[in-house]
Structure 1
Amino acid sequence: MTSDTPPPVRPRRLLVRLGALAQLAAIAPVGLALFTIVLTFFGTGIGTILVLGFGLLLLIAALYIAWAASWLEHERVEGLYGYGLPPLRARTSGQPGFAGFLRTLWAQFTDAGMWRGIGSAAIATALGWVVIGAVWGVISGFALALSPLTGGTTGTFPLTAIPLTGGWIVVGGLFGALLSLGILFGVSLLDGVVTRGVLVPSREALLAEQARTAGVQRAGAVRASEVERTRIERDLHDGVQPRLVSVGMTLGLAQQKIDTDPAAAKTLIDEAHTSTKAAITELRQLARGIHASVLDDRGLDAALSALAARSHVPVSLDVRVDGRCSSIAEAAVYFVIAESLTNAAKHARATDVRVVVRSREEAPGTRVLWARVEDNGIGGATVAPGGGIDGIMNRIVAAGGTARLDSPVGGPTALEVSVPCAS
């Protein structure tokens, strides 16, 4: 027989309460140290802002130390309460150069999630000192209550300077200990309420964020489709179309000579046949650029191996992917690598390309497909509207991922992308 009685939840709640108190006590000195460093760096950075390099370095350090404190608070709360908070990630503009770096700093500074975490960490630090004081109140209260057994006749009420004598020592000690235990219980409850109110977005905020993300992905998909259509039109106009026109003209000449000069007509037909096969090959390559059938049949590893084998530049391929991701994620990463290899051959004048692909677990139940393509070319790649890199960026955004380009003049050029496996 099986019982339909649900498992008890009180032990779990008790462990959460005790865990919250232990974490708050540990956070108190750590949080105080972090906030002291942040405020010191920020104040010194503002004061020395005229000394451009030194002041800016301190301000940047203060920003990312604050982000680290916020990340630590997010991880603490999610690990303890399991609210389902999204992992806090450092913001990036995804743009190269110094201007892109400044935009990254601004995006990080204006990140609402980071500031919510900082606020929650500040409250947790204050509550942590309350926990430490209350624990000391419990210890000193019981010690005071038991002091008559060792000959004690006087004392002070726990955590105060109120004097106690005679029989009031036991009463005051027990009351102080119970009061401190009540404070601990209240703080353990308050931590859960405060963290939920500060870190867990409201339903309206979640819907607004989902709408914003959907709008960004839609815009990226539209832009990526426009770039892809332009590329297909260009390849057809510059490659297949002239070749087919040439085939038509060659067959026309062969038709004129077939009665008077059969040998020349046969030669022209052979040329047309060769050009037709070349046009078919170009059409296949063009179709493969739109979607690789081997990607569906054999997966990303096999598709990238075939892509590397056709590359005009030697490719060092390192793919370690556990299982399959969604077709959208795999197609996006395949497109990124294919376009990067084309750019390395046509524009970067590279002689070697390294491609690394990994599947990573960023949070429990959340896998991403990460890829990095690096060539030893001349560098200086930029995101030009309608260009290949613009298409890459929009394709990744449409899949819900992120992309980062690093291409200083003189090389090397490195492109990193990360796409959710379930996109």
Structure 2
Amino acid sequence: MAGTLAAGGRKRAVRAAAELVFARSWGERLIGVLHLMASLVLSALYLLPAAMLAVAAAWIVLRAAGLVRKISERVAQDLAVTLPLGDLVIEGLIFLVLFPPLATLIARLSCAIQRHRLESVFGVTGPGAPVLEMLSTSTGRFRVLGFLFGRDAWTAVVYSTAAGLQGLFSGGITIGLVVYGIAVSIGSFLGLGYLVIDGAAADIARLVTVIVGGLLAAFVGFLLVPLLVGLEVEVARRLLLDGADVRVRRRLLEVQDSRLRMVDAAEAERRRIERDLHDGAQQQLLAVTMTLARARARFDRDPEQARSLLDQAQAEAKEVMAELREVARGLHPRVLTDHGLEAALPVAAGRCPVPVRVDVDLPDRPSRRAEGIGYYVVCEALTNVAKHAAADNVAVRAERVRGNRRDDLLRLTVTDDGAGGAEPDAGTGLYGLWDRVNAVDGALRVHSPVGEGTVLTADIPWEA
């Protein structure tokens, strides 16, 4: 059984890697190449804090070794030890007073640059505590010391070093395969024209081999770009965005941001229900009451007319029941409670004016809370597609993503071929979706380049 699970895990890992490598457009790959080249250039800045600290540590070791040797020599002569204090003080000020705080400041700057790059290019966001806010977390004279030498400062040094080494590795591969391969192919192709006119066949064959090899290297490099970018993003998530203290700070910031939005959303939902009941069911119930009153008044004088009015009241009561079911369906549909997402998602898709293809691959049902949140996410996403996307087709997929032990996820993906460019601030309801998913420690991702459609992915804990 364990071997079967391990094999299944390897298959899923291989499938995920294949999707990452091949399911990317060439425009995205080109952006990735430019990003990795920028990482290579910035790696010098990212590695500078570690280099400065290494130089300071080396100075301490060398100075200590030199002083011990000098002291031992002098002690053998007499007890009066004379040291070059002037040079020692100047070097100490540079390597012990200047280098360490400057290294942590540069590391914090490197983290800020990397965070901005990941957010602006790939939409990977995380909390960046402002300088004044971080300084205010301590009191008195220890504020500056905590900012320069606290845990966040050394974490920044570690991440800056990791990002610098990764930039050298990924950027070097990109330069070596893509840039160098294309440059060699272009140069060889230009030289091929001269050899065709006046050149030996062996030289032409060798040059053609170089061109083919360069193009093949560039092609392999373009295939590897998504993996290299994904590795950089994953390292950033682990070290820069998902540390324990960072998660706590992010959680607090998210709670502050989402609290008022959830209150406003609840109030807006209450007003919607009140409006629906007042304009629909309440008015229809009033009509039923008036019809029954008319039937009662005519019951003795005109029984036939009274029966007709009773039939009318019965029909109106059925309309009220249908109206109330519509209101209740907006809250939690009965089909979801009874049969789960496999039956509820096609019903939600059927109400969308855009053709929707539904693919549900769920071997069993998640928790009721996860089902409710997932159903709401899909309904809201389809509403956004109908209102804003100008799409011709939509695909909805629900699947179970296996994790470690209790870390399984319910993954819902809504893909459309519309205009793209979805913005949370444009009244698309993305903030509401994010709040709902985040309330159970889920994750919501939106990939929406302008003119290329939108892919909305919600990962919800299976046992939420």
Taking structure 1 as the reference length, what is the TM-score of the superposition? 0.48
If the length of structure 2 is used for normalisation, what is the TM-score?
0.44
- Name the structure, 1 or 2, with higher relative contact order (CA <8 Å, separation 6+): 1
Bigger share in helix: 2
